[in-house]
Amino acid sequence: MIELIHISKSFGQHQVLHEVSFTFEDGKVYGIVGENGAGKTTLFRCIAGLETASGKISANLQPLKNHLGYLTSDPYFLSKLTGEEYIYLLTDARGKSIQHLSERNIFELPLKEYASSYSTGMKKKLALTATLLQNNSFYILDEPFNGIDLQSSIILTEIILRLKAMGKTILISSHIFSTLKDTCDEILVLEEGRISKTVKKEQFGNFEEEMKEKILKKDIDKLWL
């Protein structure tokens, strides 16, 4: 369980998060949606302890950062680090001893090659593999489906559902609604740094229609002369 109490964050004079409060329960998957600039990544970074914020973040496992795996939207890798070395670096940091890594390479990545040479999708799959092998209790996945192929998307969906069955808490941001519909128990809508709406699973169908209607109200007709 992760509890957010009145989380606010500013960069200079610009306030990005405004009094965000919510409780993420064990064994559930939460989708975080919002337009670019709504504060999704900043919220994730605050929860992960990468940004300071006012308010309180508590969890049933402490310190939270030692039990949380954070997949960023654009993972960064050192130029002379192989995929295999990257995985061992992250798992060693959690005190996890990984045996037979080649058998656990579910995305069939070239682990002997430098991670910096990987494609965008491969980098994301490498970072995800390392995060999963840490065996965390909490996961934050920022746009995990972006840049990966259909086969990997199917695998990732199944992984998320298995983590949920194991009692893990998972937070996901995605611009692909079908991926949220297939995995999430609840969706939080973030607007200008505030949670404007929460949507339960049984309401996903109506929410999708509302989102389509809202988007299509934009001046799409102006594209045609």
Residues 144 and 206 in one domain: yes
Residues 183 and 193 in one domain: yes
**Residue 224 — pLDDT band, cuts 50, 70, 90?**
low
What pTM value is reported for the model? 0.91
The model's pLDDT over 112-144, given as tens digits with 9 standing for 90+, comes to 999 999 998 999 999 999 999 999 999 999 999
Residues 155 and 119 in one domain: no
Residues 59 and 142 in one domain: yes
In the predicted model, is pLDDT for residue 225 greater than 60?
no
**Ordered DSSP codes for 142-173:** ESTTTT--HHHHHHHHHHHHHHHHTT-EEEEE
**pLDDT, average across residues 60-86:** 92
Q: How many domains does the structure of the chain reveal?
A: 2
The phi and psi torsions of 24 (rounded to 5 degrees) equal -95, 120
In the predicted model, is pLDDT for residue 220 greater than 90?
no
The domain in which residue 120 lies consists of 73-136
Q: Yes or no: say if 9 and 17 are a contact pair by the CB < 8 Å rule.
A: yes
Amino acid letter, 61: L
The reported pLDDT for the residue numbered 189 is 95
In the predicted model, is pLDDT for residue 91 greater than 60?
yes
Residues 112 and 185 in one domain: no
Residues 206 and 119 in one domain: no
CATH number at residue 160: 3.40.50.300
Residues 47 and 152 in one domain: yes
The model's pLDDT over 152-190, given as tens digits with 9 standing for 90+, comes to 999 999 999 999 999 999 999 988 888 999 999 999 999
| Cα–Cα separations (whole angstroms), residue 14 to 9, 11, 17, 20, 55 | 9, 5, 9, 16, 17
- Those residues whose C-beta lies under 8 Å from the C-beta of residue 54, and which sit 6 or more positions away, are 6, 7, 8, 9
Residues 53 and 92 in one domain: no
Residues 53 and 90 in one domain: no
Residues 147 and 219 in one domain: yes
Residues 144 and 203 in one domain: yes
DSSP category for residue 67: S
Q: Yes or no: say if 6 and 19 are a contact pair by the CB < 8 Å rule.
A: yes
